[in-house]
Amino acid sequence: MTNEHNPKDNNFRRFEAGETPDDWELTEKIFDADHSHKCPTYIHKTPPCQGSCPSGHEIRGWLAVARGMDKPSEEGMAWQQHAFNKMIASNPFPSVMGRVCPAPCEDGCNRNELDDFVGINAVEQYVGDWARENNATFPTAGVDTGKKVAVIGSGPAGLTAAFFLRQKGHGVTIFDEHKELGGMMKFGIPGYRTPRDMLDGEIDRIIDMGVEVKLETRVGTDVSVEELEKDYDAIFWAIGAQKGRGLFVDDWNETENCVSGVAFLDLFNNGDLAATVKKIVVVGGGDTSIDVVSVARRLGHISDEAAKPQSAHAVMGFTAHDVAGSASREGVKATLTSLFPIEEMTAAEHEREDALREGVEIKGGVMPLSLVRDDSGRATALRMAECTVDAKGIPTAVEGTEFDIEADLVVAAIGQSGDMTGLEKFDNGRGLMNVNAFFDMEEHEKHFAGGDIVRPHLLTTAIGQASIAAEAMDKYLTKGKYGRKRPKVDVHHFNLLNELSSRGLSPVEAVKEGIRGTDGADFAVHNYEDRSASQIIPADELFLGYFEYEDRQARDHKLVEADEVIGNFEERIQVLNEEQTVKEGERCMSCGVCFECDNCVVYCPQDAIFRVKPGDRAVGRYVDTDYTKCIGCHICKDVCPTGYIEMGLGD
């Protein structure tokens, strides 16, 4: 029976001295004369960081590169290039995602059980920025297949699909109604969070693979769906959800100074909004709502009464033309409201803290009831009440708690849907598109979809969906079918055979007859099992006592105070340097695969476990076992920090 332990106690031992598990009946179950039936088997499992990542990043792999464990196979290659190559195997936007992804991978990190998560985003940002600064390129396009794919939309899903499809050799044409590529990465997120030079550089790498681009072209209006079906072998819909949902209050659609968060950010990111109103109320609680109030505080309010808004967007504030020559700005009173308590809002904690520091007032546990309008029909306030939220997410107002928040502009950031104008036949009734597990729109031959138009979520989710869709489209285009089901743990798995092949260590062709055992053979990978497609390794399978407490190499964060926020559009999160990045990589516990600690070699009483010869080593094949010496004592399993060793029947 295992002893109780404090997750933060790094002296945790699986068993106390003299203690044995109830299911260990050593003499009866293990020993047979002078040999053992249970010997070390190296079991590869998916680490929880990767299992928590919607894009399926092989995070453990590029952290192994940062720490120096996995060295480039190509002589003279910088380790950053090697790490970059591993990153883009699943995500072509490491610089962007290292900045804006809320990092569910870090929430899942097993190191949280010891001290603090590994700064995965920080390492990703460093490598992504290094790649941009050193002009790292993407793989060349694959051999031309003669097949053509139309990608509708150039956000994270559309560009990711184009990237993977070009790698397979398919012709790709991107259609986008905007004048620039980028989708929600560019028009939905402020530039101080996604620096435009970094974003454009990562987009350019994809286009340079030979992707054709048709901008300011809306499918369904400028080009018909029927034309696409005639000219292309497959179509991938990645049009996003750029139509914001309004509040469920009377007169919302008829009130001109009530808008969606998507519309507000689109106007700002297009460079068409230079200042906003004096009092803004944003209803939401997610990342979009935080972006709206943060942008509003930075823009400020023009106090010069002579500067009158002239544009069609005057409802939101002043355009650049309106305020030309005017430098007099005042702070904006920005209020953010959420159905849920502040600590339960879906926006990242550090984003909430930044907003509060920058002077945003946040009210949690409240719901909108109605608009307060003047005689002209403009909203002058939003009537709210405290609320409770049931298990289904349905709020109920608490009677007698009503109050008004004065507002010149009310913004709803409570959800989005797609603009289905001209695409009505694909509408599932909710302004979205239906797909199966392969992101195939089964009711529409050769149509696939991914990203927010399927389910509004994170950028990394859109990237992961596009990766799966591109794989399915490739099989559809080349074989006419894509399979029956996806893996239970659907990520970009570490593949030992590919690793061995990249280093010229692939097993030789197997002999077909008379085979018994593989421990002395060179035609198989001995005592190794890959369970990564079905199992994620938890912290309780690691030997946490091996690891020492180490502070995380946290990125510097430029803190902007309320009285400094107007006009401050500098990037807040600063990149680590190389030394810090390497140290952070060394904090990775390499859950589920060997990281060459030598514990099993040192502690094996029979000298049965040995290091693989240097010329034959690869990630995952650093140690091996001589089964003629092993007595099945389990010591190697107990001292393995990463949980890579399990005891199994060996031959």
Q: pLDDT digits over 473-483, tens only? A: 999 999 998 88
- Measure the CA–CA gap between 333 and 281, rounded to whole angstroms: 8
CB-CB neighbours of 393 under 10 Å? 8
> Above pLDDT 90, what percent of the chain?
77
Which band of pLDDT confidence, cut at 50, 70 and 90, is reported for residue 6? Answer: low
What pLDDT, in 10s, does the model give residues 9-46? 555 555 566 666 555 555 454 444 445 567 899 999 99
Claim to verify: residue 514 and residue 403 sit in the same structural domain: no
- 460 and 505 both lie in a single domain: no
- Same domain, yes or no, for 234 and 248? no
DSSP 282-326: EEE-SHHHHHHHHHHHHH-EE--TT----STTTTTEE-TTTTTT-
User: With 60 as the cut, is the pLDDT of residue 352 above it?
Assistant: yes
Lowest mean pLDDT among 60-74, 297-311, 495-509, 561-575: 297-311
pLDDT at 324: 44
Find the range with the poorest average confidence among 157-171, 199-213, 344-358, 521-535. Answer: 521-535
The closest of 35, 12, 86, 57 to 499, measured between CA atoms, is 86
Same domain? 532 vs 434: no
Q: Is the pLDDT of residue 511 over 60?
A: no
pLDDT above 80: residue 436: yes
**CB-based contacts of 598-604 (< 8 A; 24+ apart in sequence):** 599/543, 599/546, 599/636, 599/639, 599/640, 599/641, 600/40, 600/636, 600/639, 600/640, 600/645, 603/635, 603/636, 603/639, 604/635, 604/636
Same domain, 322 and 360: yes
CATH of the domain at 163: 3.50.50.60
pLDDT band at 459 (very low <50, low <70, confident <90, very high): very high
**pLDDT at residue 332 tops 60:** yes
φ, ψ at 321 (rounded to 5°): -65, -40
Q: Is 647 helix (H, G, I), strand (E, B) or coil?
A: strand
Tell which of 390, 416, 442 closes a domain: 416
- Token digits of residue 332: 């904006």
Q: Residues 47-67: what's their mean pLDDT? A: 96
Report pLDDT for 314: 56
pLDDT at 183: 95
Is 645 found in the same domain as 551? Answer: yes
> What average pLDDT does range 448-471 have in this prediction?
97
- Tell me if 578 is assigned to some domain: yes
pLDDT above 90 for 414: yes
**Same domain? 563 vs 538:** yes
Residue-level pLDDT at 565: 93
What integer pLDDT is reported at residue 509 of this predicted model?
62
Range of the domain at 579: 26-52+493-649
For residue 553, tell me if it sits in a domain.
yes
Q: Same domain for 160 and 220?
A: yes
Residues 253 and 351 occupy one common structural domain: yes
Confidence band, pLDDT 50/70/90 cuts, at residue 515: low
pLDDT at 427 over 90: yes
In this prediction, residue 39 carries a pLDDT of 84
Q: Report how many domains make up the chain.
A: 3
351 domain-assigned? yes
Mean predicted lDDT score pLDDT of the chain: 89
Planar angle of CA 331, 333, 338, nearest 5 degrees: 145
Residue 278 sits in the same domain as residue 325: yes
